[in-house]
Structure formats: C-alpha cells, structure tokens
Structure 1
Amino acid sequence: MVKEVDKREFSRVMRDANSAFIALDEEKCKTIRVGFVLLEHFSMMAFTAAMDTLVTTNLVRSAPLFTMSTFGLYSSSVKSDLNLNISTDFTIEDLIIDDYVSMDAIIICGGYRSSLNESVHLSAKLKLLDKKNIVLGGLWNGAVALAHTGLLNHKACSVHIDNHAFIKEHFPYIYLSEYVFKIDGNYMTCADPNSALEMMCVFIESCFGGDTVRAIREILMCNQVENNNEATLMKAADDPAFPDTLRNILQLIKSNIEEPLQPHEISSYVGLSRRYIERLFQTHLATTPSRYYLELRITHARRLLLQSNDLIGNIAVASGFHSTTHFNHCFKAYFGLSPSQIRKKYRCEPF
C-alpha cells in the first residue's frame, strides 16, 4: 500500500517564489482579456513594461490569468517610437463586432511623438466600450485619447509632463494628478514606462490579489538601490525593512543549504537565543526558522531540477537532503508532484 503524502503549503515568502509550480485555483478564475491600442509612434518601452507585467503574471501562476492582444487604428501595422513597424493582431474595428466586446480592458498606448489630435473613430469605440463597463487605460499620453471622449471629465488622470499644458488648455474638467499613475474607477492612466509597470501591478492586484503581485515583483524587480546608487540583486526575503539581526540570519541560512545548520548552531553563530530567533521569524516572516529553512532548500532543489541535468539524487544532496526518499516525500508534499514529475512537466527543452 502506497502511503499518502501529506500536503503542505509554503509560507508566504517562499510561496511567492514557487507560485508558478503550485496547483492553485486559477482554473476557477475568469481569464481577463486585455487589449493594447497602439498609436503611431507609441512608446515601445511603456508598452512592453505593461505587457511584460501581464506575461509575467501568467508565468507565476499555474494557469494563464490574462490573454493579450494588440490593435492598430486603421491597419495592422503601427510604427513605434523606435521607428520599428509593429504588426498588430487586429484593428479597432474588431473591438466590438455585432455588439460582442472582445476585450475586458483596453489600454491606449501613446508616446512622445504620438498625435494629440482626436481620432473620431477611436473615440466612438471607446464610448461604446465604456457603456459596457470595460476598463479603459492610457500609457504616456494615451490618456489624451480618453480625454477627447469626455469620459475623464471630473476624473483624475496621469499623463506625461510634456502634455500637462495641453490637457489644462483643452480639457479643463479633467483633474491632472501629481502622481505618475492614477486609477479612478474604471479608468487607469500613467505617465511613463516605469509607472506603466506599477499601474499594471495595482490593476493585477485588484483582480487576483497581493500574492500574485508579490510573485511578479520577485521576478521583475529583483534589485534594490544602495546608498551609493548602485543597484544590487534583491535576495529572497531580504527586505530592507527587516532588522539587521534577521537579515544576517537569513544570509547565514542561505549560505548553508547543502549542509543545513542545526538551530543551536545558528543561535551560536549569531549570538542570540533560539527563542529570540523564533520570535524574529514569526514577527517578520510569519513562519518558524526550521520551516523557512526547509522551504528554502526545497525551492533551491526546484530551481536545480529545472535549470540543470543533474541527477535527482545529486540535487537532493546539494539541497541538504541525505536521503532521496525523504527529499521526494518533502518535495511532493509542497508541489503535489515528485521531483521527476515536475521536471518533466515544466522543463520544455533539454540542456
């Protein structure tokens, strides 16, 4: 008789790092359809920042949460601000066909050289979408296209600083926000590429919660700026808000994965009592030192499984497990799949 493996859940910090490999309830979630209308000379950097955030959302979850499509105004080829011709999936004629709306959210992508003149055809489409309660957004000066429709009247919006004078002159009923991005009801706008990423993170959090956004940030924002303005890689769980004592312990643990330290050894190295260390972990990580240590080793093993051809037995040893049987049991308890199964499922190409 095969013994059933006890199911275990990762604590919050390690859950973010492993979320793409854990079977969650995404299958029950509605996939959100996001369309990007690309204006001539749109900012490629702002567009890719927003798009990459959605793509990464799908990567950190076990089922896709977003589908993305691109739209041109009148043709399926649009010139970006880099003078690259970008092929789009559709034109705006395809946004609404026989009263069927093909998207759940539409984002207008502008750029420094994008025209601020109204496209009457686009305005008509946006007004129809608004009546159907579709989320509408603008990147860079994409908000100007929304402004032409009157939908932003008495609403707050963010737009590139170069367009503030234009907005004030032509749309006096719009409240220009001092912030780089703004979400006001069903309207979301941002001023530049960096704020495009942040705006999309807030949008994603409103749809799927903070855990999803934390997992996205771990991939897209794995750096922190030190006092000398040089960016360094952000280590897992190395929150600058953590006390130095906890950060030292986390670094000590990370440096001893293959030969895990015993609790009394950690206590001796850092000169703190075991009880005090346990309180630090509960306060800042909502877990115990031993559980954090195990989950860090399991995460280390998962990365080696997918990023190398090493034998599973060797990976077990490299992750601090001296028994392959024990390693398999712990791994399956967290991921619901054995090490060999998860390697087969997620590693598409051989090394």
Structure 2
Amino acid sequence: MNMQKTSWAGKHARRAMPVALQPPFSRSLNIGLVAGPDFSLISLAAVCDIFSAVNQLEQADRIRLHRVSITGAPVPAAGGLLFAPDTGISCLYDRMARARGLDAVFICCGEAGISTFERPLLNLFRSCRRNNVPLYSIGEEMRLLVKAGLAGRATPHWSRLAYLREQHPEAELSENLYHLERQISTCSGHAATLDFAVKFLAETLGADVAGAVCRQLLIGFPRDSSQSQVKVDYHRIRNAPPHLKLAVDAMYDNIEEPLALQEIARASGVSLRQIERLFAAHLSASPGRYYRGIRLEVAKQMIEQTDLTLFEISAATGFGSANNLTKVFKVQFGKLPREFRKLAKCS
C-alpha cells in the first residue's frame, strides 16, 4: 500500500470546492511524518488524510508532508500493509538546518520500531528539541520519550499506563486522549489521532481551517484533550446510570491500591446495597468480581507486554503477592501467567 497516494476518502471521491480560509499566516507548513515498524495504520492515515484535506480544500500545498522512514525503506504497519516513504530520516536533519525548513514532526512507531531503532529515534527527539521543532508522538515511541525524560507530560494508551507508572513513577502520565505542548505533544493513538490532528490545525492554521476539514471529512465534534480514553468494557455502561459510571471510574483510577467497596459506593454517591444492585442489573456481576476482572486485565497486559516480574506486576495491580496473582489469574484465564508470557513472546 502506497500511503502517499491513497486516503480513506478514496481516489474516486468528488473533488471538494475551495473555501475562503483565513489562517493566522499564509506560508506553507513543512511537516515530517516518520513511520516505524508495526505502526498503527489508523493513526498514520488520520494524519495523512487530515493534512491532505487542507490542501484539497485550498487547492494549494498549504501543508507539505515529508514522508519518512528511519532507513528510507518501506515500513510495515501492524496489520501488514506497507508505508512507502519519500526518503530516510536524514532528510529531516537537512531541513532542520534551514530557516523555516521544518515546522513540526509527527511520528508513529510500533513496538518493533522502538526496540529496533531506539538510538536513532532518541537522536531525532533530541535534535527536534535543540532546533525548536515541535514533536508530535502518536505511537509507541512515547515510551522512549518518557524513559528519556523528554516529555513533560504524556498520554499513553490506557493499556500501557499501569506499566509506565510502575517503571517511571517520576513521570507525569495522564489518561486523557492527548496533550499538546509547545515542544513535545503526545496522543494515546488510534482514533484519538483524528482529534489530535484537528486540534493541531486549529492552533497552527486557525479554527476556520480546522472546521472546514471536519466538514469535509464528516468529523462531527472533535473531542477535547481533557476527555479521558475509553477504557475496557466501558461501552457496556455507556447508557448506564451515572452512579454506576462513577463507581467504574473509581475502580479504573485505583488499580495499584484497590479501594474498599464502601469507598467505591461513597465515590459514586449511593449506598453499597444500591451499587450492588446496579452492577447486577447492568454488568451481571458483583462489584468485587468486576473490580478484580479489571485488575486482572491490566495484569495480563503487563505479563504479555513487559518483562516485569510477577511480584512487580502483583504489586502494580493490587494483588499483594505473586502467589495470589497466579491463583486468581489461572481461575480467570485458564492459564498460568508464565504460560501467557511464553505465548506472547512466541507470537
């Protein structure tokens, strides 16, 4: 798949009529787009299509997108499709050396990308900082930014949050969809990248440009950066009573040090008996069982995705000991934690 020439709108989409837009300034923006192995296709495509829509609406190259891979070779997405870059990462260093040669860098890497190219990625991050080129992280490379202490605040995907908090307690990590800063901005990825890119347009080219792009791409109301990520099974309580949503939020917010059920009831504003009724009616589970399931899902993700010991994982998910975690894990998933880890490493 050559992402340089295709977009979600499709090559047969009707050409949009130009609109009169009045951005803060009229010069073109030069933006580097870096893809690393196993990148999220939906994240990268969101950026490509939103920037392409700007040029389509104005019938001009308002955004010049420099598509790059670290080596210059095609890069596979997590689903296997190939991203065909224009050139290698050295192109960005050349542009940084010029006045107004590079206005921003968007980067999207998967797990394989950060493990294989950690050094060149860190060099790119530091070069952006030295040259005052804003960096926008929309993939797994955010973990490198946190590890290196380069991101003042980061918004990792919820599945990585417990692990990163355990590994980097000094970091300021948020469950929000994205966070914009002057130098390094981060996004939880996937569909949230649409909101992230629209907000970038609003701040760089103006609200009129961002609004026109939303109308063109049928984006209803872009979500604000303060909105939290959708968590595991949260769709099941989308239409549930507010008290139940508050109880579930309290559970997700207290993984490492689980709350007593009475505390959860207080956080939701109703009695313990009423909370038990709500969980039974809407989730077919007791509050305790549902809470344990949330913590076990987080533990499973850490077992599959990290090299932390069972003792460390049990501490991070509130199970107290490796033996206790192993026992409830086997009941929940039918396999021992070490079996899950072995399968994850083989896949």
TM-score (normalised: structure 2): 0.53
Deviation string 1:120-168 (CA, Å, 9 cap, x unpaired) is 122112211211110101113232233344311xx22112222223422
When residues 149 and 112 of structure 1 are mapped into structure 2, their CA distance, relative to the original with a 3 A threshold, is: closer
d(CA) in 1 for partners of 2:139, 2:37: 13
Aligned length, in residue pairs? 205
The Cα shift of 1:24 comes to 5.4
Kindly, what percent of the aligned residue pairs are identical?
A: 20
Mapping for residues 1-351 of structure 1, pairs under 5 Å: 20-22=17-19, 29-97=26-94, 100=97, 102-111=101-110, 114-116=113-115, 119-152=118-151, 155-221=152-218
Alignment check: 8 A CA contact 1:26 1:61 kept = no
Give the counterpart letter for 1:36 in structure 2.
Answer: L
d(CA) in 2 for partners of 1:70, 1:162: 28
The Cα shift of 1:75 comes to 3.5
Q: Greater share of strand residues, 1 or 2?
A: 1
Structure whose CA Rg is larger? 1
Alignment check: 8 A CA contact 2:34 2:70 kept = yes
Alignment check: 8 A CA contact 2:138 2:187 kept = yes
When residues 54 and 145 of structure 1 are mapped into structure 2, their CA distance, relative to the original with a 3 A threshold, is: farther
Larger relative contact order, structure 1 or 2 (CA cutoff 8 Å, min sep 6): 1
d(CA) in 2 for partners of 1:116, 1:88: 20
RMSD of aligned alpha carbons: 2.8
When residues 217 and 27 of structure 1 are mapped into structure 2, their CA distance, relative to the original with a 3 A threshold, is: closer
Give the counterpart letter for 2:145 in structure 1.
Answer: L
- Structure 2 residues not aligned, in runs of 5+: 1-14, 222-347
d(CA) in 2 for partners of 1:108, 1:148: 17
d(CA) in 1 for partners of 2:21, 2:96: 34
Alignment check: 8 A CA contact 2:187 2:193 kept = yes
Give the counterpart letter for 2:73 in structure 1.
Answer: S
d(CA) in 2 for partners of 1:220, 1:50: 12
3-state secondary structure, aligned to 1:193? coil
When residues 99 and 156 of structure 1 are mapped into structure 2, their CA distance, relative to the original with a 3 A threshold, is: closer
When residues 76 and 170 of structure 1 are mapped into structure 2, their CA distance, relative to the original with a 3 A threshold, is: same
